[in-house]
Structure 1
Amino acid sequence: MRPRATRRRFLASAGTAGTLALAGCLNPFDDTEPVDSEYDLSVDHSLDDWDRHDPDWSAPESSPLEASFGTETIIEGLEVPWDIEFAPDGEVFISERVGRISHYSAGELEAVAEPDAVIDHAAAIETDEEGGWWAGGSEGGLLGIALHPNYPEVPVLYAFYTYQAGEEDYRNRLVLYDMDNGNEETVVVDDIPGHRNIHNGSRLAFGPRNYLWVTTGDANIESGPQDTGSLAGKILRLEPDGTAPDGNPGFEAPRVYSYGHRNPQGISFLPDATPIAPEHGPSPGRDEVNLVESGGNYGWPSVRGGPDDSEYESYAAHDDVVNPLVNTGPDVTWAPCGGVFYTGESVPALRNRFVTGGLISQRINVVTVFDGEAPDIGGRRFEADWHHPAYDAVAHPLFEDEFGRIRHVEQGPDGGLYALTSNRDGRASDAFPKEGDDRLVRIVQESS
């Protein structure tokens, strides 16, 4: 570990000082012994304490575009950020793919963890610097983060990163950091299939019942997603100590909750606690948003399209796979990544909608989910027979080409909505990065 270091960043928004108001096939999958920790990592799995729980929720029957939106920049000069995590009291942690987790307070970023094992670890990068993944457009590095549900009483921060295990051998690792003891690193799950350049998944989130959810990409291993003894191309559900919950489906790899995924880079939850996950499709198009079912098979690498898709098998021909809520088809690319089902009050036009970042689309995608037939609210509708049989979805774009690549959208404990850009990762259009990139912005509603 590198020593703690303080980095100052320009606080661009007035009034925001203070806290914000099968590579690797070593078969570790049967080893689900709890991680060794001096803290009690156990949690209550009841829904009673989840403040976003609303079993009777309903989708808004209006277009989000009836409102107008703006943004306020909170932090500038981030070095390819990937995730943002809020503590209940408003503390903020941000991961940057160069190999750093920082704590933000009073206009200052203080590095709290800098694992040397992260691929191409860098203390800093210049916007036009050549070499490394930040020039080549890799998808690896220091990725998802999540605080223990009982933080700060349990001062533990989880993280997921890509490392090199040998020549041309890349893997991912889930770790935790003891924030009270020099940010000491403890490995929770190791040897997760990884890739230097593509398909590492890597979103972390504690869900409504305090399980730790982890998304993994297929790591370019064709057989991985359909192999339930592999952790490639999966959504995992864990106890905070790294073990598999008793209620998991019971696959050979017991941490696996669902399989057949390509590259899911986000996970959130409807107010009734249903998991919802965006997923990158094969270029071009065929990006998805899925409702995640226990034991569900999501079809990759063979099933990915509708009846008229000539390159992939159709969901309509398979009753053994879960139909997508959204599939953008072969001609439209979102590159959806981190997102949140927004339930806050600060941006009322987006309340009870799934809001996800878009990378190559360089926008935020707003997906309204209807339990049954969707009303006419404009936007693009997903209601074909081969889409999810119980739900309709309607999508609208926001901020197209205004901020470049949007890596993640998150809800803060203040009910605010925040977004991270990813314009210094080697994949932005010619217009980006711009001065001040990358940045954390707050989304505000200007009128309705």
Structure 2
Amino acid sequence: MDAPTRRRLLAATGSSIAVLAGCFTESGSDAPELATPADAPDEDWSVPDWRPADAVPSEDDVEATTVVSDLAIPWDLTFADGDAFVTERDGGVRRFDAGALADDSGLGPADGETILESGSLPDRASPGEGGTLGVAVHSDFPDTPDLFVYYTADDGVVSNRVVRYDIESGDLETVLEGIPGASIHNGGRIAFGPDDALWVLTGDAREPALTQDPGSRAGAVLRVTPEGEPHPENPDWGDDGDRRTYALGHRNPQGLDFTPRGTPILAEHGPGARDELSVLRPGGNYGWDIVRGGPDDSEYENYDDYEAATPPVVNTGPGTTWAPSGLAFYDDDAIGPWANAVLVCGLASSALYVVGLTPPDESDGSADDGGAADTREGDSGVRYDADWLDDRFTATVHRLFAGEWGRLRHVEPGPDGSLYLLTSNRDGRADGPFPRANDDRIVRLDPR
């Protein structure tokens, strides 16, 4: 039986929701606008057949090894066909042998090959948090030897672009541009999904109002072909909308991965904490910069008061900061207690979050009932199950390795079941004992 989603419940009660992009979508005449698509694909939601492991994740489940040191603010990592591709925010793209990362330690930048210099990226710039950010390989790699890179450019106006680089011929072409950029909130994560489409996360570029403009590429999840064209199954956002947009209303999303069913999961930075983890819906509007909390939040509107707003599965509330960046859905069983969990890296929190998602009627009640803003910790974790959150899942969160390696930018499963963490301690935001000598680094987590 299908889970009773918010959208289904509204439809069942005959609630009317404006369907033209940019129309008022709330009941009050003075309510702010939330954009909705003129035509959104059916979600076809059903209870998933995967479940997180029935165990409490622990730091003792893994053994940590620093594999590579002295990197220049690594930002993203992806594995393909025996290679590991790493971006450095203030540099280009390095290629390491995946076998060396799995077996060795004590490696340095010279043990990898720079396959794309920063100077080869047209108009590339590094304003603040901008620079060389996301990396992804073509879904047919190595038969199609293309590398995709998201980076910040300045040709008189700061923006972000995605380029396609043929690592055999050296040809480079821009496939997506016109993404607003700034010194902060550039988004930047890219990935090929199970649908062979390229998914692109963009930030609000310090102009929050753009995120409610369906014609802007700011604060959005874009789904495009490898050539940068709109995916044919994307929502229709109206005559003035961008058909590349899958979802909008995001502040600064930096984490993206997919469940075994191909459903996208996203993590994004909130304002004054209020960080979020969302299981995306096609045509979803995630509320920024109008909606950002529950009924007890005195600074932002409540998701329950806006029919057009799509709620997250986790909102940390105004009192708890994750500062989430990269994430991974760990669908391996090599680290048994972490199987089928969402792993989220924290920057300001300097921690790795292990998040189990279960249908609400299957929650065993063992976790502390944290509502949506409580950060009480215990062996059983913190549960996010407030009524105004996404009713398809209950999230149970465990925080691991707090303060162990400083700021964590990304986590990536390797081909052998191990996990790889990227630190970000030389990005100008670290404090306390960080950065340490030999930062930044890649840390491998092997199953014990």
Per the TM superposition, whether the score is higher than 0.5 is yes
1:389 positional shift = 1.3
Q: Does 1:101 align with 2:93?
A: yes
Instruction: Tell me what 2:446 maps to.
Output: 444
Q: Does the Cα contact within 8 Å between 1:67 and 1:445 map onto a contact in 2?
A: no
Out of 49, 58, 63, which is 2:56 matched to? 63
1:84-109: CA deviation from partner (whole Å, max 9, x where unpaired)? 0100x331110001121011135511
Distance 1:420 1:118, change over 3 A: farther
Distance 1:352 1:423, change over 3 A: same
Instruction: Tell me what 1:254 maps to.
Output: 243
1:36-84: CA deviation from partner (whole Å, max 9, x where unpaired)? xxxxxxxxxxxxxxxxxx9521122332138543311111111000000
Instruction: Tell me what 1:35 maps to.
Output: none
Q: Structure 1 CA distance, aligned partners of 2:403 and 2:59?
A: 20
Instruction: Tell me what 2:67 maps to.
Output: 74
Q: Does the Cα contact within 8 Å between 2:351 and 2:399 map onto a contact in 1?
A: yes
Instruction: Tell me what 2:173 maps to.
Output: 186
Higher helix share: 2
The aligned amino acid for 2:53 is P
Q: Which runs of 5+ in 1 are unaligned?
A: 1-53, 122-131
Instruction: Tell me what 2:329 maps to.
Output: 341
Instruction: Tell me what 1:173 maps to.
Output: 161
Out of 186, 205, 229, which is 2:215 matched to? 229
Q: Does the Cα contact within 8 Å between 1:354 and 1:367 map onto a contact in 2?
A: yes
Q: How many residues align?
A: 373
Q: Does the Cα contact within 8 Å between 1:305 and 1:315 map onto a contact in 2?
A: yes
Instruction: Tell me what 1:17 maps to.
Output: none
Out of 138, 154, 159, which is 1:148 matched to? 138
1:243-295: CA deviation from partner (whole Å, max 9, x where unpaired)? 11110002210100000000100111111211100010012x10000011100
After superposition, where does 1:15-414 map in structure 2 within 5 Å? Answer: 56-65=49-58, 67-87=60-80, 89-105=81-97, 108-116=111-119, 117=121, 138-166=128-156, 169-181=157-169, 183-195=170-182, 197-251=183-237, 252-283=241-272, 285-373=273-361, 374-375=363-364, 376-377=366-367, 378-414=380-416
What secondary structure does 2:134 align onto?
A: strand
Q: Does the Cα contact within 8 Å between 1:347 and 1:443 map onto a contact in 2?
A: no
The aligned amino acid for 1:385 is D
What secondary structure does 2:212 align onto?
A: coil
What secondary structure does 2:58 align onto?
A: helix
Instruction: Tell me what 2:430 maps to.
Output: 428
Kindly, what percent of the aligned residue pairs are identical?
45
Q: Structure 1 CA distance, aligned partners of 2:172 and 2:213?
A: 30
The aligned amino acid for 1:364 is L
Q: Structure 2 CA distance, aligned partners of 1:72 and 1:385?
A: 41
Q: Does the Cα contact within 8 Å between 2:341 and 2:357 map onto a contact in 1?
A: yes
1:190 positional shift = 1.3
Q: Does the Cα contact within 8 Å between 2:412 and 2:420 map onto a contact in 1?
A: yes
Q: Does the Cα contact within 8 Å between 1:345 and 1:416 map onto a contact in 2?
A: no
What secondary structure does 2:312 align onto?
A: coil
Q: Structure 2 CA distance, aligned partners of 1:359 and 1:76?
A: 18
What secondary structure does 2:304 align onto?
A: helix
Distance 1:118 1:399, change over 3 A: farther
Distance 1:263 1:119, change over 3 A: farther
Q: Does the Cα contact within 8 Å between 1:408 and 1:420 map onto a contact in 2?
A: yes
Q: Which runs of 4+ in 1 moved over 4 A?
A: 117-121
The aligned amino acid for 2:117 is E
What secondary structure does 2:112 align onto?
A: strand
1:167-192: CA deviation from partner (whole Å, max 9, x where unpaired)? xx3100110111111x3321001121
TM norm structure 2: 0.80
Q: Does the Cα contact within 8 Å between 1:365 and 1:395 map onto a contact in 2?
A: yes
What secondary structure does 1:153 align onto?
A: coil
Q: Structure 2 CA distance, aligned partners of 1:119 and 1:304?
A: 35
What secondary structure does 2:208 align onto?
A: coil
Distance 1:222 1:426, change over 3 A: same
The aligned amino acid for 1:403 is W
The aligned amino acid for 1:103 is R
The aligned amino acid for 1:260 is G
Distance 1:120 1:157, change over 3 A: closer
Q: Structure 1 CA distance, aligned partners of 2:302 and 2:84?
A: 43
